[in-house]
Every structure is written in structure tokens, then in C-alpha cells.
Amino acid sequence: MTTPKITEAMQANAVLVSKMNDAKQKITLLENGIIEASTKEGTSAKDYAAFMDKAFPAAQTPMAWCDVKKSHKSDFGQFVWASRTRIVEALEGNHSNPAIVWKRAREASIYYEAPAKKEKSEKSDLEKLRLLINQAGENCIAADDKEIMTALVTIAKRLTVLETQAAS
């Protein structure tokens, strides 16, 4: 009979599971603090984040706790999501937006990275003109004005030529 070889990954996972079990009681206290303080300044959300950061450093877990989504299937992901679910469900009747409380806790984490803001795309003058022509065309259809509609179609055709020339 041979003994199974315990890999480094298996050892790391066992340590993480042990940490999760050890942290359950403290997390429950912090969850309750968040629930009770949800109408205040959110200091409990900061306490929760500080504890999670210390108990589960990102380097020792599959992902930073604040990055866990519902779709994560790892034991750690399910553990963190269960905590989030307990907080949100407890607040549902008493808070206008319970998910924001979880968001504040996540944002208080030292591991939280705000998503990059997307820049608004500037429409070219030709694109803006095309939108105006389309809107005017819809108004002409509604008003049943065939003369203006014919003029708009002519302008749209010329605009298409201009757009082709600008693209090349």
C-alpha cells in the first residue's frame, strides 16, 4: 500500500480551508456589525475589509476576497460569496440598496482595484450629422412630409460619399 503524495497545492488548499474555518466566527460578528451599522458611516464595512485583508492575503488565496464573484466555484470563492449573501439578505428589508453595503466593504480592501473608467468616444461631425438626419427623417415620416424626406435622402446620400472619402 502506497501513501498518496501530497502536493504543494493540496497543502496550500488545506491551509486555506483551515483559515476559513477559523475565521467563520469572527466573520459572523463582522457581518452582524455591517448589518447593524448599515445606516451609519460604514465603519463596520471597513472593519470587515480589514479583517478579510489580514486573514486572507491575496497572495495566499486563489483571488483577492474583494474580487470574488458569484460565478467563482472554488471553496474560497463560495466561502466569500456566502458571507456576502448573508449580509445582503439580512439588509434586504431595511436598506434601499443592500448590495451597496457589500460594495463599500470591497472598496475598503487594500486589494481592491477600481475598474478603469472608459473614455467617452467622441462622435465625428459626420456621425453627428448622420444622427440628426435620421432623427429628422423619423419626424418627416411621422408628419408625412414627402418633400423634406426627399431632401433628407439626397443629403444622406451625399453624406455617405463624404464619409467614404473621409475614411480613405
The string of pLDDT tens digits covering residues 75-87 is 999 999 999 999 8
pLDDT interval class at 43 (50, 70, 90): low
Confirm whether 55 is domain-assigned.
yes
* Confidence tier at 68 by pLDDT (50, 70, 90): very high
Please give the average per-residue pLDDT across 23-46, as a whole number. 76
Q: Which domain holds residue 159?
A: 125-167
Q: Yes or no: say if 80 and 68 are a contact pair by the CB < 8 Å rule.
A: yes
pLDDT at position 110: 92
CA dihedral 93, 94, 99, 101 (to 10 degrees): -160
Do 12 and 69 fall within a single domain? yes
149 neighbors 140 (Cβ within 8 angstroms): yes
Domain count, the chain: 2
Cell of 122: 467622441
CA distance 90 to 45: 14
In a domain, 46, yes or no: yes
In this structure, how many other beta carbons lie within 10 angstroms of the beta carbon of residue 139? 13
**Would residue 90 count as lying in a domain?**
yes
